[in-house]
Amino acid sequence: MEVNGSNNSSPTMESLETKKKLRILCLHGYKQNGTIFKSKTAVLRKSMKDIAEFIYIDAPHIVDEKNGTSSWWRASKDGKEYRGWEVTLDYLREVFITQGPIDGVLGFSQGAVLCSLLCSISSLNSDPTLENNMYHNCFSFRFGLLFSGFQSRASIHQSLYPCSEHNNGSHNITSHNLNGSNDCLDNSSNSNSPQQSSSPKQSYPLNKIQTPSLHCWGKSDELILASNCESLSSHFSNPQIYEHSYGHLVPTSKADIQTYRNFLTTFIQDCSLE
C-alpha cells in the first residue's frame, strides 16, 4: 500500500491530547549512536512530541571508541554471519523489560534491518495459534517504521523471513556501502566467531510478518537500493510504503512528517490514559 502526506481523516490535535503517547524505540544506523541519531531526527521528534515519545539507545558493539559510535553486529566478509547478534538480542531484551512498554520500533539502515527481525519475532509472539514457540517472548510491540531497510543477509536470520526461499538473502549493496565511512554493514571477517545457535532454525510459520509497518526509502539513496527496501517490505502483510526523493536519511519535510503522523495516529487511537 502506497501512502502520501495528506489525509483529512487524521484525528484533531484536541483529540490526541486526551490519548496516551506512543513509546517508540529508535535503532540507529551503523557507526552512529543514540545521541547522533537523536540529533539527526530532531525535527521528527519535535514534530511528534504531542503523540509520541522517542527512546534512543546505543548499540552494544563499539566501532569507534574515540567517537563513541557503535553497531548492532559486525558482518562477516560474505555477509552470512552477523557477529554479536546474540549479544544484541540480550541487550534489547533488557531494554524492553526495563524501559517498556514499547509500542513500536523505528530503525534506520542497519537499525532497520534489526527492526525487521524484531517485527518478525513480535509477529510470532502475537500469534495465539503458535504453541511452545522458542522465540524471545519479551519482544512484543504494535508497529515498525523502517527507513532504508533491507533483508538481513545472515544465514541464521533467513528463517525469520517468510519469503526467504525466493530471496535467499542476497542483495545488491554498493561497495561504498560495505567499505565507506557511512557503512550499513561491516565486512570484516573472523573465522573463529562463535556459532549463533539460539535463533530459530525452522521455516517461518506464517505467510507474512503481521506486525504493521511503514517502509520508507529514498530514490536517490546511493547506499541501499530501492529494490532492496521494496524486497524487505514484501515480507510484511499490507506494508505501507513511502518513497521519498532524498538519499540515505530520515526525511523530515512537512509532507514527510505528515506521512509518519498519519501512520502513527492509527495506533494512538487505541491507547487509553493510564
Residue 88 belongs to what domain range?
A: 13-268
Q: Establish if 2 belongs to a structural domain.
A: no
Would you say the pTM of this structure is higher than 0.85? no
Q: Helix/strand/coil (H, E, C) string of the chain?
A: CECCCCCCCCCCHHHHHCCCCEEEEEECCCCECHHHHHHHCHHHHHHCCCCEEEEECCCCEEEECCCCEEECCEECCCCCCEECHHHHHHHHHHHHHHHCCCCEEEEECHHHHHHHHHHHHHHHHCCCCCCCCCCCCCCCCCEEEEECCCCCCCHHHHHHCCCHHHHCCCCCCCHHHHHCCCCCCCCCCCCCCCCCCCCCCCCCCCCCECCCEEEEEECCCCCCCHHHHHHHHCCECCCEEEEECCCCCCCCCHHHHHHHHHHHHHHHCCCCCC
Q: Establish if 153 belongs to a structural domain.
A: yes
Q: Establish if 71 belongs to a structural domain.
A: yes
How high does pLDDT run on average in the chain? 82
36/199: higher pLDDT: 36
Residue pair 113/150 in contact by the 8 Å Cβ criterion: yes
Q: Establish if 78 belongs to a structural domain.
A: yes
Percent of the chain with pLDDT over 70: 73
Q: Establish if 64 belongs to a structural domain.
A: yes
Cα–Cα distance for residue pair 36/29, rounded to 1 Å: 10
The pLDDT of residue 193 is above 60:
no
> What pLDDT, on the 0 to 100 scale, is given for residue 76?
93
Q: Establish if 209 belongs to a structural domain.
A: yes
Q: Establish if 7 belongs to a structural domain.
A: no
Q: Establish if 273 belongs to a structural domain.
A: no
213-234 per-position pLDDT tens digit: 999 999 999 999 999 999 999 9
The pLDDT of residue 5 is above 60:
no
The pLDDT of residue 169 is above 50:
no
CATH of the domain at 29: 3.40.50.1820
Total number of domains in the chain: 1
